[in-house]
Amino acid sequence: MKNRVTVIGAGNVGATCAQYIAMQNLADVILIDIVEGMPQGKALDITQAGGPLGFDAMVTGTNDYADTAGSDIIVMTAGLARKPGMSREDLQQANADIVKECITRAIQHSPEAKILMVTNPIDVMTYHAYKLTGLPPKRVFGQAGILDRSRFAAFLAMELNTSVREISAMVLGGHGDSMVPLPRFTTVAGIAATELIPKDRMDAIVERTRKGGGEIVALLKTGSAYYAPAAATANMVEAVLQGTHRMMPCSVYLSGEYGIQDVYIGCPCILGGGGVEQVVELELNNDELAALQKSAKIYKENIALLGHK
């Protein structure tokens, strides 16, 4: 039986995510949105790309959650996008209401599904979905770390004029300005990045990575990033559906790791068929650990605003 993935939200991120999943023949995709006609039109368009691009996954658009029944993964992308000058936290309450409406309806029809959160602010919304559904935390996780890592790697490749495929980058912390890029755990063809890039340049790249999403928002003026976020999400879908046990930085639930309790935050984990199969604890130095704990504290404060106990 073919895998089924529901993508909630047929905007730029959701539709592009559905496209990437279909292009890799990972699953049939159900693209759902509140706007009548939009998911149906985009789904039909993506399906018709199968011939020239060589995939036969079916993408179905709908406005009815009954059509999503039996999904293996629910990908939540619906929500308001950031506008220039708006932080991820500004979006929080409005998107919390959207997440509650969508996730509670979707999980009724697919009670065995894993939930992959993409809606911003991702770390807070992932915790929100975890509390709303009552699912084990290993089955609820957020996307941001892979996107942050890919931005860090892209900037390093630009700096070194080398292929981004040679770069293995690591980023911890929340998906926002408090994220913690880790040059010490980042390599270029196996060589420590800190050996190749002077500290002042590395500091500038780290800062650009932290503000990578905002940079794109400022350039676009009427939207936010979607190609890279969708690609990062499809990466995670692949790891779960194919059970590849890949080590990836994701928004995961911590219950004492890194001295952090009861919060979702970006950390390396093993992602496989069961969802988050293991949270990986790195040997951080004092500065790195303090930065991660500071990031977690910010998100715990934001979570408290949602009223979860």
Catalytic residues: 175
Strands (E), the chain: 4-8, 28-32, 59-62, 73-76, 114-117, 140-142, 167-168, 171-172, 180-181, 187-188, 191-192, 246-255, 261-272, 275-279
Pairing of strands 187-188, 191-192: antiparallel
Q: Determine the straight-line distance between the first and last CA of the chain, rounded to whole angstroms.
A: 39
- DSSP 8-state assignment for residue 121: S
Cα distances (Å, whole numbers) of residue 169 to 51, 186, 191, 207, 215: 35, 4, 12, 15, 20
Count the alpha carbons within 13 Å of 1 in the hemisphere toward its beta carbon.
5
